[in-house]
Structure formats: structure tokens, C-alpha cells
Amino acid sequence: MSAVILSLVAVAGANAPPVNFFESPFAYLPLHTTLEVVAIVISAMVCGLGWHQRLFAKSSTMIVLGATFLPVAVIDLLHTLSYQGMSDLVTPSGPEKAINFWLAGRAAAAVGLLSIATLPRRIWPAAWTVAAFAVAAGLVLAVIWIGLWHADWLPRTFVPGKGLTTVKVASEYALMALYGVSAVFLARRGRASSEPGLFWLAAGAWTLAVGESFFTLYAHVTDIYNLLGHVYKAAAYLMIYRALFIEGIQAPYRLLARERGFLRGLLSSIPDLVWLKDPKGVYLACNPQFERFFGASEAKIVGKTDYDFVERDLADFFRRKDMEALAAGRSVMNQEWITYADSGKSVLLEVIKTPMLNDDGSVVGVLGIGRDITDRTRLEGSLRMASADLEQFAYVAAHDLREPLRTISSFLTLLERRYDDSLDAEAHQFIAFARDGAATLDQKILDLLNYARLGHNTGAVAPVSLAEIVAETVASLRPAIDESGADISVGGGLPRVAIPREDLVRLFHDLIGNAIKYRAADRSPRIRITCQPVDNGWQIGVSDNGIGIEPQYFERIFIIFQRLHTGDAFKGTGIGLATCKKIVECHGGRIWVESVPGQGSTFFFTLPSAPS
């Protein structure tokens, strides 16, 4: 809107008679100097803001603008000092000298704005920023050198008594075209990105274009066209500064306010207690859940310490835990019993306290997050009691169930011995069936008891070598290996893992034992154990050339007591692979099978790496 109004004023001004507002250039000098000083100050502010934003700018706009207005500010200063009526600066001051510096300054601004309008917007490396400002400084030195010591190299732009030359007028039209094109492209880019700063840049470029039109009309430095040209330039610079101010100052604050609002909403929705203290224990912020603890609003909590709200012993405890986190330089966890001031309810909190640091590593304070674990702790206690009761029941039940089985087996043996001569072959067979059934049931009870015990070892475990576990397993299976003629090979590089030794022995015993058991009738077993690293652990493979498994049974074989073959074909209880699955999953891994019927199977499982 400002650019439109100024354009309308320019149309009216262009049709105004060339009135001289001042009797002489000396009378116009104070106003001219004031207008130029305003423009120079704005240019310097744009340059300084652009340089300051080099570390934070999200595009090259501010950097290019800052580098552009470095030569603009210096050249405008040279123009002001060279104006007619000013003291001599190396060479005598006068209209043509001032015009030469004027055109150089306007050309620098036009090229900079056109660059912003057309070049891709991206984040510049630090070296590019320094190079841009170095180029700008080099341009300043070149303009000074030519303008003060080699002005004779330049074409005439003003002839006393005749006014502006064709070169001067053509230059002003060229500048008008550059500014106009820049304004159009900046406006289009602003519409595409919805960035208000680009619209202000477009308005500034358009105002400069309109202002340049006045400098094609004036015949004397004191007439209305010269005055309007300088006024329009100062107005355009204000618009450009406004653009840089929006993108460099207001936009980050708006973004910060938006992020703070998002963070505030997020903290308000979290059911945990969240708070932030400075290194001295003074509260800086908290969420609504924490307000319930103290029974006060955040506004009344901020600026105070724990000693203002709770008993001294509890405040000392809180402070001690804060200092432990600061001293450790990392998150520390503890449990705290607290009582809500608003309800009187006591809860157990699991508290994590973390030192908060600035980018330079200095401590900002301590962030605390407290989660109510009262119900969870009670439930865990109940589960531990239930698990202990169930385990005790399993032991008792196993003992009580096995005792009758032993009695049955003993009396069947006694019956067979005492009445051996009176029993025919069929009776002996029936007794053998009964004895085998009792033995199978006894083994199932033992396997089930061992299965129930898995996962109860929750203490720290020293890392063990899988190579040693495999060697121990192969030694225990030596009779079956020799009997079947099995060939077992182990790939190199088996790792160390922090898993109980007995669990690993049971895992490999079942997998290698199955590979031997379920062998093909026409060939000796070939078993290969491989290993490869995966994310956060290792993948182990146990391959064989046995009878294989149909794909529809890949999941079923890991279910307890699910067998694919009868007891006559292959002995077993149907709990081995279920045990392997439980062992692997108890330690955070998974197990699966890949198989081709008639060719063999590979059982894969993952295990976590041992801590370094």
C-alpha cells in the first residue's frame, strides 16, 4: 500500500513545474545532508543486521542484503561529502562528483536487490558469507579509488549550465528498469512463500524505481525533482530495513513464541510432573501437574525454591538430588514420596533429573520429570508375590505328580519280575507301554518345570563366549553325534553375550540336538553354526540338511507341546523349541525358521551384544 501511495504521489510530482525550493545549493545543503544521513544510517543498520544474522539466517536473503548495503552506506557517505557546498574531499566537491557516487551507490543497491529476487534461497556456508562481504568491501575500495583519483575515466554526467547528460539520464532509466524487475520478481517470490519480508523488499525496490524517475527530470540540484528523489530513496530504505527487520528480528521471535506455545500445550497435556530450576534451585517453570503438588500457580512458584513450599527435610532431599545431577553432568534417577497440597494424596514418583546446558556448555539449570509409579509399584509387588506363589506351586505340583508316577513305574517293574513266568508276550508288551507312558509323562513334568523357571534370573550376568557354549554343547551331545555320524562346523567370530550360561547351553543343546534327531535317512547330518552382526546385537544361525519343515508349520513348532511327528518316529516331549523361543525372547531377541522340505532347515535367532 505504501508503494502504491508513493507511486500516485510520483505521478502528481512528475507533472509539477520544476520549482526551485531553495535559493542556492548552500541553502539546500542542510536538508540534503539530513536526508542522506537518514539513508546512510538505515543502510548501516541493514548491513549490521545482515552480518549479525549470518549465524542464524535460514536463507541467503539477509546475508546478500547486508553485503549489498555495506557499499551503499559508504558510497552514500561519499556522495554526501561530495555534494556541492561541502568541503573538498581529495578533489573539489560539485554536482558531477556527487552524481558519480550517486550512480555507483544506486547500481550496487539495484544489483543486490536483483540478486535476492533471482538467486536460489539457501543457507550459505560461513565462507560464502565472508566472501560476499569481502567482495562488497572490495567494491567500496574500487569506487573510492576511481571516484576520487580517476574521475576522468568516467563519462560526463552533468554539465554546468546545461544540466544532465544523456549518460546520466540513460543510467537512471537503466536503474529504474533493474529496480522494477527486482520488484516484480520479489513480489512473485513473496506470494509463493507468503513471507511478508519479501513484499516489503518488493515495495522498497519499486519505490527506488519511482524515485529514480525524478533524477531524469531535474535541471538544478535545488528543484523539486531532486528533493523528491532523495525523499523517495530514504522511504525505500526504510521499507528495505522493515523487510530485514521482519525476517531477521520479528520472524525469529514469532517462531519462538509459536514454539513456546506448542511446548506449553505439550507440557500441559503430559500427566507427569515437569519443572525447571536454575543452578541455585530457583524455579524457572513448571506444568499444571506440578502446580497441584505445591498447591500454587506457576506464577507464584517461579522465582521461589522448595524451601518456600515443603518442609526443610524434604527440601534438603530435593536439593541434594539436584546437586547430584549437576555433579554427574547427566540424567540421574531416584524415587521420591510426595504429598499433593491440593488433595493430600501421597504418591511415589520415579524422578529423572537432567542438567540443562547452553550451546556453550554452561549450565542453565536442572530439568525434572516425575512420574507417579504408585499403582505400578503395587502391581509389580503383587505380580512378584503371584509369581513366587506360582513357582512354589509348580515345584510342589511337580513333586506330587512325579511321586505317583514313580510308584506306578516301580510296581509295574515289580509285577513284571514276580509274575514273569505267568505273563504272555502281549502282557509284557502292555506293561512296557505303561512304563514308557509313565516315563514320558515324568519327562514332560520335568520339562514343564524347567520351562516355568526360565526368565527368573534378573541379576547382572557376566559376558560369556558363545564359542565356549557351543563347544560345551557339542561335548555333551558327543554320543548322539558319533552314533549319527554328524559333521558340525562353526563359523568364526562367535561373540560374547551377557546371557546366563545355563540358558545358552539349553538353547544350543535343543537346536543342535534337533538337527541330529530330525536327520534324513539317506545321509549323515551336516550342521553349520553361523553368526553375523545386526542392529544392537548378533544374528546366529543353526543350519542342517535334515528332513525340513513345511511352511505352514513354521509358527506351530514354537508352541509348547505341539509336535509334527509321532513318538514312534521321533522321541521327544514337544517343548524344546518352545523353550528356545522363551529363552531368546526373555533376552530381547527373536527366533524364526527357514526351511525347504527334504533339504534341511535353518533356525535363526538374535541376541543382544554384551555391554562394553
Give CA 161 to chain center in angstroms: 69
pLDDT of res. 204: 87
Q: pLDDT > 90: what percent of the chain? A: 16
pLDDT of res. 587: 82
Dump pLDDT digits (tens) for 40-70.
888 888 888 788 777 666 677 778 888 888 9
Query: Is the pLDDT assigned to residue 113 strictly greater than 90?
Result: no
Higher pLDDT, 505 or 428: 505
Query: Is the pLDDT assigned to residue 138 strictly greater than 90?
Result: yes
Confidence of residue 144 (pLDDT cuts 50, 70, 90): very high
Cα(191)–Cα(183) distance, rounded to whole angstroms? Answer: 12
The mean-pLDDT minimum among 153-167, 414-428, 437-451 falls in 437-451
Higher pLDDT, 115 or 566: 115
Cα(210)–Cα(232) distance, rounded to whole angstroms? Answer: 8
Mean pLDDT of 500-507: 87
Query: Is the pLDDT assigned to residue 224 strictly greater than 70?
Result: yes
Query: Is the pLDDT assigned to residue 283 strictly greater than 90?
Result: yes
The answer to whether the beta carbons of residues 306 and 281 sit under 8 Å apart is yes
Query: Is the pLDDT assigned to residue 147 strictly greater than 70?
Result: yes
Question: What single-letter DSSP state applies at residue 249?
Answer: I
**DSSP H helices in 17-94:** 25-52, 61-81
Mean pLDDT of 550-568: 74
Dump pLDDT digits (tens) for 333-361.
988 888 888 888 888 989 999 999 887 77
Rg over alpha carbons for the chain, rounded to the nearest Å, is 44
Give CA 8 to chain center in angstroms: 51
Collapsed DSSP state (helix, strand, coil) of residue 483: helix
Residues in the chain: 612
pLDDT of res. 281: 92
Nine-digit cell string for 179: 529496480
Dump pLDDT digits (tens) for 83-104.
888 888 888 888 889 889 989 9
CA distances for 135 relative to 112, 129, 182, angstroms:
12, 10, 21
pLDDT of res. 11: 47
Please tell me the number of Cα atoms within 13 Å of 595 on its side-chain side.
23
**DSSP H helices in 150-223:** 166-193, 196-214
pLDDT of res. 301: 93
pLDDT of res. 368: 92
Higher pLDDT, 4 or 271: 271
Mean pLDDT of 251-271: 75
Confidence of residue 12 (pLDDT cuts 50, 70, 90): very low
Q: What is the mean pLDDT of the chain?
A: 82
CA distances for 294 relative to 291, 300, 372, 448, angstroms:
5, 10, 16, 53
Would the pTM of this model clear 0.75, i.e. be above it?
A: no
Dump pLDDT digits (tens) for 205-217.
888 888 888 777 7
The answer to whether the beta carbons of residues 18 and 225 sit under 8 Å apart is yes
Dump pLDDT digits (tens) for 288-313.
989 989 999 989 999 999 999 999 99
Phi, psi angle pair for 592, to nearest 5°: -155, 170
- How many secondary structure helices (H) and strands (E) does the chain include? 18, 14
Q: Treating both helix axes as pointing N-terminal to C-terminal, what angle do 166-193 and 95-118 enclose, rounded to 10 degrees? A: 30
Nine-digit cell string for 536: 544392537
Please name which of 585, 541, 578, 573 lies closest in space to residue 556, comparing C-alpha atoms: 578
Phi, psi angle pair for 293, to nearest 5°: -65, -45
pLDDT of res. 453: 65
Cα(67)–Cα(307) distance, rounded to whole angstroms? Answer: 54
Query: Is the pLDDT assigned to residue 373 strictly greater than 60?
Result: yes
Cα(357)–Cα(364) distance, rounded to whole angstroms? Answer: 5
CA distances for 609 relative to 464, 466, 590, angstroms:
11, 12, 14
Cα(518)–Cα(526) distance, rounded to whole angstroms? Answer: 12
Q: Dihedral of CA 415/416/421/426: which sign? A: positive
Query: Is the pLDDT assigned to residue 468 strictly greater than 50?
Result: yes
Nine-digit cell string for 156: 560526463
The answer to whether the beta carbons of residues 372 and 349 sit under 8 Å apart is yes
Query: Is the pLDDT assigned to residue 10 strictly greater than 70?
Result: no
